[in-house]
Amino acid sequence: MAEYLASIFGTEKDKVNCSFYFKIGACRHGDRCSRLHNKPTFSQTIVLLNLYRNPQNTAQTADGSHCHVSDVEVQEHYDNFFEEVFTELQEKYGEIEEMNVCDNLGDHLVGNVYVKFRREEDAERAVTELNNRWFNGQAVHAELSPVTDFRESCCRQYEMGECTRGGFCNFMHLRPISRNLRRQLYGRGPRRRSPPRSHTGHRPRERNRRRSPDHRHGRF
C-alpha cells in the first residue's frame, strides 16, 4: 500500500495531494483547493509571485484606456527585466541553473518568476532576504517551490503554438528571452554546467541594449 501511495503521489490519481501544485507550484483554487498543497521545506527553486508585469497588459493612457505597446518594445522591456533580476540574484545569492517567467494571465501564475539555484542553501537564503525587499514599487513575495523539472510544468501545446486555452491555461506558458541575452547569461563563465538543463553565467560588463525610458525597473 505504501509503495502504491508513493507511486501516485502528486499525480491526478492522488486524491489527497494537489497534482497542479506539485507540478507547477501554484493552483488556481489557492487556499480553497480540496487537496493538500505540500509546500517544500527545502528546494533548489524559488518563486517570486506576480513579479513581472507585461506592459501590453498594464499600459494605459490618462483616461484609463489601453495604449498600444509594440511586440518589439515588449521584448526589449522583458529582456531588460530578465537580465536585471537574473544578474542581481546570481550575484547576491549564488549560481542560477535556470530562470523562467510565466506569461499566463491567471491570477495564480501571472508574472511568476521561477529561479532554480544550484544549491538549496542559496535558495533558502534568497527567500528569507527577498521577502523583506521591494522591486519596481511592489513588495516581493518569495517562497520555495516544489518545481524542479520545468519540462513537466510547461504547456506543450503553447510551445508548439497550439494552446487553445490562451493565457488562462493552468500549465506554464514560459516567455522566452532573446537569443543574444540567452548567450550572455547562459553562455559565459568557466563553471561547468550540471546536466541535464543547468545554465551558468556572469553579469555582462557592458549593456548594449537600449532601455526604454517608459519601462523602468527597480532593484531588490
Tell how far CA 127 is from the center of its chain.
Answer: 14
74-91 residues labelled b (16+ CB within 10 A) or e (exposed): bebbbbbbbbbbbbebbe
Q: Which of 51-65, 107-121, 206-220 has the highest mean pLDDT?
A: 107-121
Residue of higher predicted confidence among 152 and 218: 152
Q: How is 58-118 classified by DSSP, letter by letter? A: H-B-TTSPBPP--HHHHHHHHHHHHHHHHHHHHHHH--EEEEEEB---STTTTT-EEEEES
- 115, pLDDT greater than 50: yes
Q: How many residues does the chain have?
A: 220
CA distance to 55, 164, 172, 173, 174, per residue, from 158 (Å): 21, 8, 9, 6, 9
Neighbours of 57 (CB within 10 A): 15
- Residue 197: its pLDDT value, please? 43
Residue 51's alpha-carbon distances to 48, 138, 202, in angstroms, are: 6, 8, 22
Average pLDDT, the chain: 79
CA distance 184 to 52: 21
Tell me which architecture the domain covering 38-58+71-187 has in CATH.
2-Layer Sandwich (3.30)
For the chain, the structural domain boundaries read: 38-58+71-187
Which of the pair, 115 or 69, is modelled with greater confidence? 115
Question: Are 104 and 173 in contact, with CB atoms under 8 Å apart?
Answer: yes
- Please state, in angstroms and rounded to a whole number, the distance separating the CA atoms of residues 120 and 2: 28
For 19-53, the pLDDT digits (tens) are 778 888 888 777 778 777 778 899 999 999 999 99
